[in-house]
Structure 1
Amino acid sequence: MITTNPFDDDKLREECGIFGVSNGETASAIVALGLHALQHRGQEAAGITSWDGQDFHTHRAMGHVAGNFDRDEVIRALPGMSACGHVRYSTTGETSLRNVQPLYAELNSGGFAIAHNGNISNAMKVRRELIRRGSIFQSTSDTEVIIHLVATSSYRTLLDKFIDALKQVEGAYSLIVMTTEGMIACRDPLGIRPLVMGKLGEAIIFASETVAFDVVGADYVRSIDPGELVIVTNDGQIRSHRPFGETHARPCIFEHVYFSRPDSIIDNSSVYSVRKAIGAQLAIENPVDADYVIPVPDSGVPAAIGYAQQSGIPFELGIIRSHYIGRTFIQPGDKVRHLGVKLKHNANRALIEGKKIVLIDDSIVRGTTSLKIVQMMREAGAAEVHMRIASPPTKHSCFYGVDTPERTKLLAHKLDVGGMQDFIHADSLSFISIDGLYKALGEAKRADIRPQYCDACFTGDYPTKLTDQDDAAVTNQFELLAERVV
């Protein structure tokens, strides 16, 4: 079986989505609805854990939220006024039920459930040390490291144990934790991954994106600040802790480019408006003589609108997407496999035949997507095919919770822009500049001394240590040396 979407196999895979409800009626049902809204952040598996004041209840399943959490009997088996949930696309750990979150453990202080969006970049090193000290792991997920650090901490209170654990990990994390004392929501000191707080009646809600609040009818309150821990006690009190001191935030810039839904608000900015501004800046930097501006659906649409408005070139739907095709399709041979590509997307031949078109996409990863799109336009009779990309070239891998291919598989790492243009067979290819991207986000330019975002996938400027990657690199060097010696 292969994916029927020819454009899904060459995108950066979003890490995960998390959603939590504290002190709310039918909490698990609200969480299920919230996870529906966050499904784009992870389609591999989903899970919900609830607490009824005495016991914790968990249901985890492979696949989408729909079909797993839209049955009354499932929700009834998750009672209580507090619940948290998770949608997953694995970036660390194997694809199996034991890695589906929320992860749950019985600690000395009581039940402890955790849902994590991000990636712990020193998880392997910490895991090895914990195992050496006697910890027994039940999953291969980096998230479980946090549970063991909490369990083995010498601090007295659960909050202090949790803070102690967080101070031992590196990387990116937005977390929702449920304990018998209440719910904790926190964000790493750099705020790499997003997390927001809302309110629904008397219930306090946390989510990866504000769009989840819209779906459940909650009001957006604010973003959780980088390095902040927000605690909601069982009696509804809200406390904020900032155990890491003042930090220079570096939220992920790709949330604005691609990951987040366009109807979300990230750090008080409309994602849709930002993407239109990116498209407009792209038109200023990289104009082209064309008859139509055509988005690569669906992620390229807002930037294409911005490009069209700025350039004065008409916006048209030159690629039509079917929304009624399942995720997979049995492909018995190469010929049928090629035909299966058009089940999901098809060229609007009557529009583009004989026309010069400019295609707008959010990014180029391996380049296979762009190659297919350009070929599709050529076969439909386009006179010229130009591509404009609403992000700088993706030259570096992400280690903060995004499933990026190895750097050697990134087209922009292997080729310059001219080589990439030849590879995808476009008449021209251009990307927005890094300074242009910052300008579209409201910054004058990227400050090399203190950049406002994590843009490591474009610049290679990683804002944290990459302990596991560095250790692996050293190990590989020793292995290569040993091979030479032998």
Structure 2
Amino acid sequence: MSKKEYCGLFAIYNHEEAARMAYFGLYAQQHRGQESAGIVTWDGEKIREHKGMGLVPDVFTERHLGKELKGRIAVGHVRYSTTGASLIRNAQPFLVRFGNIQMAIAHNGNLVNTLELRRELESTGSIFQTTMDSEIFVHLIARHLHNGGVEQAIAKACERVRGAYSLLILVNNKLIAVRDPNGFRPLALGRVQDAHVLASETCAFDLLEAEYIRPLEPGEMLVIENKCVRSVTLGDPAPTRQCIFEHIYFARPDSTVFGEVVYENRKRMGQILAREAPVDADFVMPFPDSGIYAAVGFGQESGLPLEMCMIRNHYVGRTFIQPSQTMRDFSTRIKINPVRNMIKGKRICIVDDSIVRGTTIRSRVKKLRELGAREVHMRVCCPPIRFPCFYGIDFSSKGELIAANNTVDEIARFIGLESLHYISVEGLLSSVQAKDAWCLACFNGEYPVAVPPESGKACLENEIALSW
């Protein structure tokens, strides 16, 4: 199984072109999900929505942005499924109405007690419209609305769920943002003119020329209403456990995520790799795009030249985002193409972000051999992935993780390498600023939030499918 992206969030409050701003905010975060996209707006009287399957430019037209999605508040979402099938009904934001309240919710992350809560809610009359764990929040919020306002209801809902979540919730004229107590998923606050903006990554702010203010804190609920911003801390304090894969792979290099610059951290990973595992090679070569910045650091530290021997076709999406294995295999073949004359007779050191199953890199190394490479070495800027992730990245099957079942030497032989070295956990942590604020469960199996045996994606989807 390849890595799968999760979701990207964007919201803007008090802007005359809120829908158009949301469109560009999602466009900047398209790398976070290419399966579906949606925007919901509030025009002062009612919520309006448009969602669809596919890329942001394919889902929205000028008619949607200029005429239909009216209002000064907008919430947007791009998605790849971590739980829930690839269906239009699972596209977000998820929109509901009860009484005089109209609410839209967009979620990035993954809950580990979805089955438990879904069974409980269904047994007391809740009817689910999707297979998403995100819908759990809607039903829990609805249960508590009669005991207080919407903010109290959201706080009560967050007390019941366990796992990873960054939320954007539009409730009539109020915009609410929430991060889980461990802070697994990113969410940042910005400002453009008189409007407040929120996004998973700051690259969305850059496109809109918005000022980056700060990341939301773990366990923080931010409420924006009538140009006033209030911050509330939810629940008991918990250890901060941010997803370090944002900096290894997922986030755009021009983003600031969890308050740290992605580009700088990736370059440091490469520099540390060069110190941990020097190599006698003719040049360093990344596979675009995720390995480029670590390769820059590796080349600078080692003194080896950096060569771009693989050229990416930018009209092909990230291979792991495609929802079918058939499409993924096809995309892998056309995604990058070698500069043949650079490879023959050379000793090459590949620098890449990670190895999950090993099948993709094996086929690429085989191609380098066919083109006449004399030696192929590899340096990887994350430790071996040995354990599945239950917080929103689809490392969901330990049996398919090559490092869970093989030694480094065995992996090197499988791929066809002269040498292979992964960055150490200590080296990885020295490449980021915060030293004790990261989730490392996919490397060491130490899960910050306890994971029930039934919390795996396959288990969840199998049970939900039986009820549909």
* TM tier, smaller: over 0.9
Equivalent-residue separation in structure 2 for 1:109 and 1:277 (angstroms): 52
> Structure 1 residue 20: deviation in Å?
0.3
Equivalent-residue separation in structure 1 for 2:457 and 2:16 (angstroms): 47
Give the corresponding residue for 1:414.
405
> Structure 1 residue 324: deviation in Å?
3.7
Q: Would you say 1:214 and 2:199 are equivalent positions?
A: no
Cα deviation, 1:209-233, whole Å, max 9, x if unaligned, reads 0000011111101100000000000
Give the corresponding residue for 1:199.
191
Question: Are 2:115 and 2:455, in contact at CA under 8 Å, matched by a contact in 1?
Answer: no
- Comparing 358-367 with 68-77, greater Cα deviation is found at 68-77
Give the corresponding residue for 1:331.
none
Cα gap change, 1:405 to 1:424, in 2 (>3 Å): farther
Give the corresponding residue for 2:275.
284
Aligned pair partner of 1:175 in 156, 161, 167: 167
Let me know the Cα RMSD of the aligned residues: 2.1
Cα deviation, 1:177-212, whole Å, max 9, x if unaligned, reads 000241001100010000000001111000000000
* 3-state SS of 1:209 partner: coil
Equivalent-residue separation in structure 2 for 1:474 and 1:326 (angstroms): 28
* 3-state SS of 1:467 partner: coil
Cα gap change, 1:268 to 1:351, in 2 (>3 Å): same
Question: Are 1:348 and 1:380, in contact at CA under 8 Å, matched by a contact in 2?
Answer: no
Question: Are 1:455 and 1:461, in contact at CA under 8 Å, matched by a contact in 2?
Answer: yes
Matches within 5 A, 1:98-177: 98-108=89-99, 110-153=101-144, 155-177=147-169
Q: Would you say 1:42 and 2:30 are equivalent positions?
A: no
Matches within 5 A, 1:462-473: 462-467=447-452, 469=454
Equivalent-residue separation in structure 1 for 2:455 and 2:36 (angstroms): 30
- The code of the aligned residue for 2:46 comes to D
> Structure 1 residue 452: deviation in Å?
2.0
Question: Are 1:108 and 1:151, in contact at CA under 8 Å, matched by a contact in 2?
Answer: no
Q: Would you say 1:460 and 2:445 are equivalent positions?
A: yes
Give the corresponding residue for 2:356.
365
Give the corresponding residue for 1:3.
none
Cα deviation, 1:229-257, whole Å, max 9, x if unaligned, reads 00000x11110000224332111011110
> Structure 1 residue 468: deviation in Å?
5.8
Question: Are 2:396 and 2:456, in contact at CA under 8 Å, matched by a contact in 1?
Answer: no
> Structure 1 residue 350: deviation in Å?
1.0
* 3-state SS of 1:397 partner: coil
Structure 1: 5+ residue stretches without partners:
1-9, 329-336, 445-450, 476-486
Q: Would you say 1:257 and 2:248 are equivalent positions?
A: yes
- The code of the aligned residue for 1:82 comes to I
- The code of the aligned residue for 2:211 comes to D
Question: Are 1:124 and 1:468, in contact at CA under 8 Å, matched by a contact in 2?
Answer: no
TM-score by length of 1: 0.89
- Comparing 272-281 with 399-408, greater Cα deviation is found at 399-408
Question: Are 2:388 and 2:395, in contact at CA under 8 Å, matched by a contact in 1?
Answer: yes
Cα gap change, 1:109 to 1:248, in 2 (>3 Å): farther
> Structure 1 residue 56: deviation in Å?
0.5
* Identical positions, percent: 44
* 3-state SS of 1:136 partner: coil
- The code of the aligned residue for 2:450 comes to K
Cα deviation, 1:106-127, whole Å, max 9, x if unaligned, reads 1235001000000111111101
> Structure 1 residue 346: deviation in Å?
1.5
> Structure 1 residue 75: deviation in Å?
4.1
Cα gap change, 1:189 to 1:80, in 2 (>3 Å): same
Equivalent-residue separation in structure 2 for 1:57 and 1:148 (angstroms): 21
TM-score by length of 2: 0.93
Aligned length: 451
* 3-state SS of 1:438 partner: helix
Equivalent-residue separation in structure 2 for 1:162 and 1:471 (angstroms): 25
* 3-state SS of 2:27 partner: helix
Structure 2: 5+ residue stretches without partners:
320-327, 461-468
Question: Are 1:84 and 1:178, in contact at CA under 8 Å, matched by a contact in 2?
Answer: yes
Equivalent-residue separation in structure 2 for 1:327 and 1:256 (angstroms): 17
Question: Are 2:30 and 2:55, in contact at CA under 8 Å, matched by a contact in 1?
Answer: yes
Equivalent-residue separation in structure 1 for 2:224 and 2:434 (angstroms): 34
Give the corresponding residue for 1:448.
none
Cα gap change, 1:23 to 1:128, in 2 (>3 Å): same
Cα gap change, 1:30 to 1:327, in 2 (>3 Å): same
Equivalent-residue separation in structure 2 for 1:138 and 1:43 (angstroms): 22
Give the corresponding residue for 1:307.
298
Equivalent-residue separation in structure 1 for 2:316 and 2:361 (angstroms): 21
> Structure 1 residue 69: deviation in Å?
1.5
Aligned pair partner of 2:229 in 223, 226, 238: 238
